Amino acid sequence: MSSCCGNNQRPMDLHQTVREGYARIADGEGGGAGGCCGDGPGTASGALAERLGYSAEEIEALPEGANMGLSCGNPTALAGLAPGQVVLDLGSGGGFDCFLAGPKVGAEGRVIGVDMTPEMLSKARRNLVAYRERTGLDNVEFRLGEIEHLPVADASVDVVISNCVINLSPDKPQVWREIARVLRPGGRVAASDMALLKPLPEPVRGMVEALVGCVAGAVPIDDYRAMVESSGLAEIRLTPKPEYVAALSSFQDPLYARIAESLPEGATAAEYVTSLDVTARRGRAPEGRAPAPQGPGPRGGG
């Protein structure tokens, strides 16, 4: 089972590569090969989000710039959020899914976004002003941190969501251990991610744009299931969503066009890569027993 991103970079180098790529996107310099859908902010972002199941009303209600075209699924819908829940978004970017989750959990709930890129964190915090004015809610916050070392206390979260981010990690099994650590007994995870239907050709795996674009970091579906199982989570369900890659192709996404150029003649990206909806649950403690500790307590955030 692979825990890396399919190239020779060390974990810290991979973090820096991803951080720099997403900093450019946050600053509006993505240029066409930056995010999970490759185009970053632009005219296709809203249309792509609608293809992924977000309603036009949801998209229009977001703070300007929160939808950066970086999605590969709709984890907020997958999660079935309810009032009063505490939600954690891994790799929250400009706040897209956090701002959608906030009204669903209401004033008694809380949404925490974690991102390792300071530029993204600054963008999300600027967007908070418009979110508060529009909703009248003050229930969303953003913390600086890596998803392998979440700045969140043990057993403090009802639902973990993530949108096209876990595949970017150089230590994906550790991410899933952290998810299990922060979830309360009975808590759930609903993630949208990228996975492989078959191994990518070496030229694609070596493309930095593909790494930042959530492709080179993807692992086979069977390996993905094994990572989630090893974290101790239960009720695991993995659902491939090939229509995401088809949608990117229909939008003539620059990243996927480059990938297509590196594939064998006649092959398409959709034959190799799929979006993947992942749901799982942390088991409840036996009646009358406290849940076993899942790891270290809170870690410092930004």
Residue-wise pLDDT tens digits, 45-101: 556 665 555 656 666 666 565 544 455 667 787 789 999 999 999 999 889 899 999
Residue 32 carries which DSSP code?
A: T
Please say if the pLDDT value at position 102 is more than 90.
Answer: yes
Q: Give me the pLDDT at residue 264, please.
A: 85
Please say if the pLDDT value at position 121 is more than 80.
Answer: yes
List the structure tokens of 104: 């669903």
Q: Give me the pLDDT at residue 301, please.
A: 35
Q: What is the DSSP string of 209-263?
A: HHHHTTSTT-EEHHHHHHHHHHTT-EEEEEEEETHHHHHHHHTT-HHHHHHHHHS
Site of tokens 């709709």 = 74
Please say if the pLDDT value at position 169 is more than 80.
Answer: yes
Domains and CATH numbers, the chain: 11-281 (3.40.50.150)
Report the chain's mean pLDDT, rounded to a whole number: 77
Q: Give me the pLDDT at residue 42, please.
A: 40
Residue-wise pLDDT tens digits, 10-54: 555 656 655 555 555 545 544 433 344 444 444 345 566 655 556
Whole-model pTM: value is 0.78
Please tell me whether residue 61 adopts helix, strand or coil conformation. helix
Q: Give me the pLDDT at residue 298, please.
A: 35
Residues 236, 228: Cα–Cα separation, whole Å: 8
